[in-house]
């Protein structure tokens, strides 16, 4: 039996037809494992907001204001098919990334048909390259993988037309190139590499002179060049983004005005960016933390990496067995093509003056999108040039791919944690704030969500409460302001009242700091979302900055008019019977002085053995029991709150003094009040 298995294993060979399947496996294990646990991030949210509130015209409007009008159709069709399902969007983006990798391999294998192992390696590097780490932003970057796929297939069919001398393949390539213009501008610069690719694929006929071959290459490239130039002329000289002008190619204009200074600027930024893409982006692949297997995630990661290493070794080993006549190294022209793809891949961002090393990670990694194929080809070339022993090549490559896959999974896990925190915020907002008056600003001391930001959080909040809005309505009802980044050192100005304004894309917000709500969201400290009240200004449970801003937190802007959220299925996808559910519902009931409801929420939580981890969250229930006449329970809860959190007397003493003056007199009230004042040490 063992001999039979060994015999079948030795006969098994990996042919070119199997490469897409191996790429699919690598794509699935790198990006698909975490897909069910990922959501929406940063710029994904403005697409969601415009789609929810304005439909297809909203997507067209957004693309127009964002400077990428030709790609709107992709999002319109995708939203109609996928809706706002996070998993559907993740799988959609992963699918197109896999297709882009398949197209990349087909193109490279077309160049070097006798180097299956090397072209497969380059395609794997393109698929897994660590310089780009924003794959979980599925909505925002799906258009880029579509664009890659379309352009690379256009390259492929143009090359096939040359190799087989069949005009219909040139037609295919030309039609696909026209489609590419209506995808994404991120990879537009790669079109200028087509001339070198065509030149490389023209048969080396001894009867043709260098001049004739060059003339043929230019002639074959000319239709594609005219399409690309037409797009560039339209985009640079004719089209204007109406508000932001964020994607305007300003560097092209300065190049025409001051060519020497502009070229110097580009070169000064090019070399740091090349180092970042080709060298330092690999640092994160191998970090000491991945060898700490003290938690479940790292243990699972080890298993994923071992499986990846074994699968890669098997694929490469069987390729070597099937094609042992191949040369072990790439031809030198691979180095040239790779370098050109890297350089021209940077062109769209360089045209707008956006340089990778100047921007913050991880958002700067999008600059590398157009250069990923070239970088993968260069690294593959260098790998086979440095590691020449076939057996060592197979082992080293298996280990390297395993670490790359491990890095992508680790990176996705960080986005998973971000999405979990987002869901925690959104569901608690949904419970605590069923409705909210328009022109309300939501303030927090600092950024509360990672992989987000102020305007993405604003779009997310507006999407939760979003309703159909006519295109003529440009005012957005709510906005999120992190005070530390938006008003650093100006808390007193906010506290005294000041206009609050912001604008993003085609919409704007206009409000007032005294018509705002102050929130605190620190779930990592076992806290629920806290909607801060003016009465909390004296509490030591919040920060001094929050103490200062508490008086302007206007809870009257919260209404009980429940808004039917278009994202309700996402918000309620998790179990709602956690402690924070009862706290938020009770805090809402406290706001409207429904004290019996507050008591009932505590009793329901008790039945499920749910308790707060912070004394601050006992306060609504202390007030609820006191206002329903159960002073003994109110005193017991006060005792527990005082014991589990430090300095709670700063919050509890004012609460009890207020209860003493606002509730009916009784002997029990007096007795419990005196006891509480005594053990808290309240100042008379």
Q: Is 147 in contact with 187 (CB distance < 8 Å)?
A: yes
Name the band, by pLDDT with cuts 50, 70 and 90, for residue 5: very low
For the CA atoms of 106, 112, 117, 121, the dihedral, rounded to the nearest 10 degrees, stands at -60
For the CA atoms of 356, 359, 365, 369, the dihedral, rounded to the nearest 10 degrees, stands at -40
Residue 486 contacts by C-beta under 8 Å, 6 or more apart in sequence?
454
The predicted-structure confidence for 639-660, as pLDDT tens digits, reads as follows 999 999 988 999 999 999 999 9
The predicted-structure confidence for 179-190, as pLDDT tens digits, reads as follows 999 998 889 899
- Cα 500 from Cα 624, distance rounded (Å): 35
Looking at residue 524, its pLDDT comes to 92
Name the band, by pLDDT with cuts 50, 70 and 90, for residue 292: low
∠ at Cα 157 (155, 163), nearest 5°?
105
- Residue ranges and CATH numbers for the domains of the chain are 2-415 (no CATH), 433-571 (no CATH), 575-684 (1.25.40)
- How many C-beta neighbours within 10 Å does residue 535 have? 16
Name the band, by pLDDT with cuts 50, 70 and 90, for residue 297: confident
Q: Is 188 in contact with 345 (CB distance < 8 Å)?
A: no
Least confident of 163-167, 197-201, 257-261: 257-261
| SS3 state at 520 | strand
pLDDT over 70 at 95, yes or no:
yes
- Tokens 């159709």 belong to 73
Q: Is 247 in contact with 352 (CB distance < 8 Å)?
A: yes
| SS3 state at 470 | coil
Q: Tell me the H-state helices in 249-295.
A: 250-257, 259-278
Least confident of 127-131, 207-211, 485-489, 526-530: 207-211
- How many C-beta neighbours within 10 Å does residue 331 have? 16
Average pLDDT for 502-513: 92
Q: Express as a percent the part of the chain with pLDDT over 70.
A: 93
| SS3 state at 203 | coil
360 burial (CB, 10 Å; 0-12 / 13-18 / 19+) is: exposed
Length reported for the chain: 684
> What is the crossing angle of helices 619-627 and 595-607, to 10°?
120
Strands 440-444 and 478-482: parallel
Report which of residues 322 and 204 the model is more confident about. 204
The predicted-structure confidence for 339-371, as pLDDT tens digits, reads as follows 999 999 999 898 888 888 888 878 889 999 999
Looking at residue 9, its pLDDT comes to 47
Q: Is 25 in contact with 402 (CB distance < 8 Å)?
A: no
- Cα 323 from Cα 327, distance rounded (Å): 9
DSSP 537-566: GG-SSS-HHHHHHGGGB-GGGEE------T
- Cα 683 from Cα 100, distance rounded (Å): 70
pLDDT over 80 at 253, yes or no:
no
């Amino acid at each position: 039996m063992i001999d039979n298995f060994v015999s079948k294993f030795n006969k098994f060979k990996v042919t070119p037809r199997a490469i897409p399947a191996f790429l699919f496996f690598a794509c699935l294990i790198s990006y698909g494992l975490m897909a069910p646990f990922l959501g929406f991030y940063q710029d994904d949210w403005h697409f969601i907001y415009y789609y929810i509130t304005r439909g297809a015209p909203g997507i067209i409007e957004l693309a127009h204001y964002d400077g990428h009008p030709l790609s709107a159709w992709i999002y319109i069709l995708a939203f109609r098919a996928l809706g706002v399902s996070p998993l559907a969007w993740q799988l959609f983006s992963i699918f197109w990334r896999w297709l882009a990798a398949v197209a990349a391999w087909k193109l490279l294998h077309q160049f070097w048909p006798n180097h299956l192992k090397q072209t497969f390696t380059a395609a794997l590097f393109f698929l897994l390259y660590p310089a780009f780490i924003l794959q979980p932003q599925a909505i925002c970057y799906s258009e880029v993988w579509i664009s890659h796929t379309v352009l690379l297939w256009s390259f492929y069919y143009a090359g096939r037309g040359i190799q087989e001398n069949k005009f219909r393949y040139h037609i295919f390539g030309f039609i696909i190139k026209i489609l590419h213009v209506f995808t994404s501008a991120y990879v537009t610069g790669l079109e200028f590499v087509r001339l070198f690719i065509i030149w490389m694929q023209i048969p080396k006929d001894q009867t043709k002179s260098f001049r004739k071959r060059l003339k043929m290459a230019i002639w074959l490239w000319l239709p594609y060049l005219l399409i690309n130039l037409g797009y560039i002329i339209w985009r640079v000289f004719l089209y204007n983004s109406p508000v932001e002008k964020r994607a305007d190619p300003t560097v092209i204009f300065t190049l025409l005005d001051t060519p020497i200074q502009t070229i110097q600027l580009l070169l000064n930024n090019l070399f740091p960016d090349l180092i970042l893409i080709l060298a330092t982006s690999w640092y994160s692949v191998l970090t000491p933390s991945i060898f700490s297997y003290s938690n479940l995630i790292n243990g699972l990661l080890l298993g994923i990496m071992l499986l990846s290493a074994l699968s890669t070794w098997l694929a490469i080993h069987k390729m070597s067995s099937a094609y042992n006549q191949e040369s072990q190294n790439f031809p030198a022209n691979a180095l040239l093509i790779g370098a050109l793809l890297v350089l021209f891949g940077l062109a769209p961002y360089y045209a707008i003056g956006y340089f990778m090393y100047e921007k913050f990670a991880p958002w700067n990694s999008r600059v590398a999108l157009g250069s990923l194929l070239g970088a993968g080809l260069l690294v593959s070339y260098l790998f086979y040039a440095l590691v020449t022993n076939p057996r060592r090549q197979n082992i080293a490559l298996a280990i390297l791919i395993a670490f790359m896959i491990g890095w992508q999974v680790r990176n996705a896990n960080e986005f998973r944690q971000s999405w979990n925190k987002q869901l925690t915020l959104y569901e608690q907002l949904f419970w605590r704030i069923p409705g909210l008056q328009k022109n309300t600003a939501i303030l927090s001391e600092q950024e509360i969500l990672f992989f987000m930001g102020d305007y993405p959080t604003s779009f997310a909040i507006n999407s939760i409460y979003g309703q159909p809005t006519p295109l003529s309505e440009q005012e957005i009802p709510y906005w999120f302001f992190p005070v530390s980044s938006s008003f650093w050192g100006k808390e007193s100005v906010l506290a005294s009242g000041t206009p609050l304004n912001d604008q993003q894309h085609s919409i704007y917000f206009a409000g007032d700091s005294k018509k705002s709500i102050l929130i605190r969201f620190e779930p990592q400290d076992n806290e629920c979302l806290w909607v801060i009240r003016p009465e909390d200004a004296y509490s030591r449970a919040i920060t001094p900055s929050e103490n200062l801003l508490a008086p302007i937190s206007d809870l009257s802007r919260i209404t009980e008019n429940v808004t039917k959220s278009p994202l309700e299925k996402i918000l309620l996808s998790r179990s709602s019977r956690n402690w924070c559910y009862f706290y938020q519902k009770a805090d809402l009931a406290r706001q409207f002085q429904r004290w019996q409801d507050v008591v009932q929420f505590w009793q329901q939580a008790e039945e499920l053995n749910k308790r707060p981890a912070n004394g601050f969250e006992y306060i609504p229930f202390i007030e609820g029991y006191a206002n329903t006449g159960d002073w003994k329970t109110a005193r017991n809860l006060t005792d527990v709150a005082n014991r589990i959190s430090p300095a709670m007397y700063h919050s509890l003493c004012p609460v009890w003094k207020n209860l003493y003056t606002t509730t009916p007199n009784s002997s029990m009230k007096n007795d419990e009040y005196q006891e509480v004042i005594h053990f808290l040490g309240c100042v008379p």
